[in-house]
Amino acid sequence: VGAILDVVFNHRCGDRQDEHGNWVLFSDEYTHDNKRLDWGPWALISNHPNPDLAGTGNPKEEFVYPAAPNVDHSNEEVRDSLKSWLNYMTSPRNLGFSSLRFDFVLGYGAKYVKEYVDTTVYPRGELCVAEWWYDGGVGDPAFTTAEMLAEYADAAEGHFGCFDFPLKTAIHNAALTEDWSLLGGKDGLPGLVGIRPHLAFTFIDNHDTSAPQTHYPFPDSVPKLLAAYSYTLSHPGIPCIFWLHLYGKQNAAGITNGREPDVSLTESAGRIDLRGCWVPPNNLGFSWEERHPGSEPWSVESQDGVQGPIYTGICGEEIKKMSLARSQAGIHSTSQVEVIESRKDLYQACITGRTAYGSSRSGASSSDFVYQLMVMIGPEAKKIAVQEAWTPVSIGSLHAMYALKTPVAHKEDTAVDEAHPHTFRTASSPSREEMVAGSHEYF
């Protein structure tokens, strides 16, 4: 298990005002002679629309985050400072974060993200992820397309991936409209996973889309949530599981980071050495900072009132089963997918994982087989004929997932088309007619 650092490099708030009233000065309990540690207005962009948040650095053409000063990434000294800090955070001798998640990269170029990962974790084989999400300037959370994400990631030569917001939109809309054909068809899969599966970080919800911000919350339905996870945890891409879907808030109460619960932490609002896990419910976000007037919707307490059943951890055990099946089957980011059925009431696909070799001799063997996952989503999922050799993984009112082993078909598989290189039509998966007839052999 490794920890991923949430890197907020687009905007940083100072804690003091300069002589013009701008919040662009940064305090430190120590004095420093070099600029790598002693930031000031020179490190921030000069064309912020709010004069109080503008610095004296270069202007930028990318999107400006309106609520805080924006960092000037075009300044080499700024980048040296950030890389130095990142190397400290990711060094095994120091804090040892395994990988990086970049927040709001809409505000700075892919070349800078590439520079940061290339000097830290990319050389040791870690894939980072960037949050590129654009609402079209009209507050439309579904505006971001797969092509937008691919263009940003391609500009960095694929040295990091992106959260697959357009796939979330497809899954989200499928659940809202109950049209499960939106999950994909014979011509491929929606979202970034359909064109750059090795760079697609797939997800159902995150801290921005769900409560308390609720920019784009998944429909509050347990059957639909489990159907969504049966898709992301069986399909290509790099799936992410939302903590509140897996454990919920209440189930996390006993996690104490290796320390015995200390009632004095809660009684003192966590201010005794600031090491507590519990956050006062009326505080802002997940911090120890007291909230300011008007920030009530962002408090920890507010989450309890707007989060429904899917945020209680009730789905956690089924999600764990599906995650384990994916791991055991060897499903990976570019696994082959055959979409068998795609219509409003049923989406069905067979996903191929790792190969198991039945003979030690060189060359193909009739004993070779592949591990696969068969997933059916929609109200018709339970009506599909189930083979005796299929092992149930997770079954609900709107989904069914099975694990199976299939003899290897020793012939060249063909991709659907160049735009969907990971989506195959292959003889190693049964057709719907074969499954209904029960003629396909599994072992």
The pLDDT assigned to 64 comes to 97
Q: Dihedral sign for Cα 324, 316, 403, 187, please.
A: negative
Q: Report the pLDDT value the prediction gives residue 440, as an integer from 0 to 100.
A: 36
In the prediction, which pLDDT does 428 show? Answer: 46
Residue 103 is among the residues annotated as catalytic for this protein: yes
Separation between Cα atoms, residue 338 and residue 420, nearest integer Å: 12
Domain 4-311 in this protein, CATH class? alpha beta
Residues of the chain with pLDDT under 50: 251-257, 259, 261-279, 286-289, 305, 410-412, 415-416, 420-443
d(CA 40, CA 69): 11
- Among 18, 77, 103, 118, the one annotated catalytic: 103
Query: Scanning the structure block, which residue is given the tokens 């400006």?
Result: 64
Element (H, E) at 180: none
pLDDT of residue 313: 83
| C-alpha distance from residue 198 to each of 162, 239, 347, 372, 397 (Å) | 10, 11, 23, 19, 31
Exactly one of 131, 164, 318, 341 is catalytic; name it: 131
Q: Using CB atoms within 10 A of its CB, is residue 168 exposed (0-12), middle (13-18) or buried (19+)?
A: buried
Instruction: Dump pLDDT digits (tens) for 332-391.
Output: 999 999 999 999 999 999 999 998 877 655 566 667 889 999 999 999 999 999 999 899
Reported as a single tens digit per residue, the pLDDT across 55-68 is 999 999 999 999 89
Structure token pair of residue 305: 């009132």
Residue boundaries of the structural domains of the chain: 4-311, 331-437
Query: What pLDDT was estimated at residue 255?
Result: 45
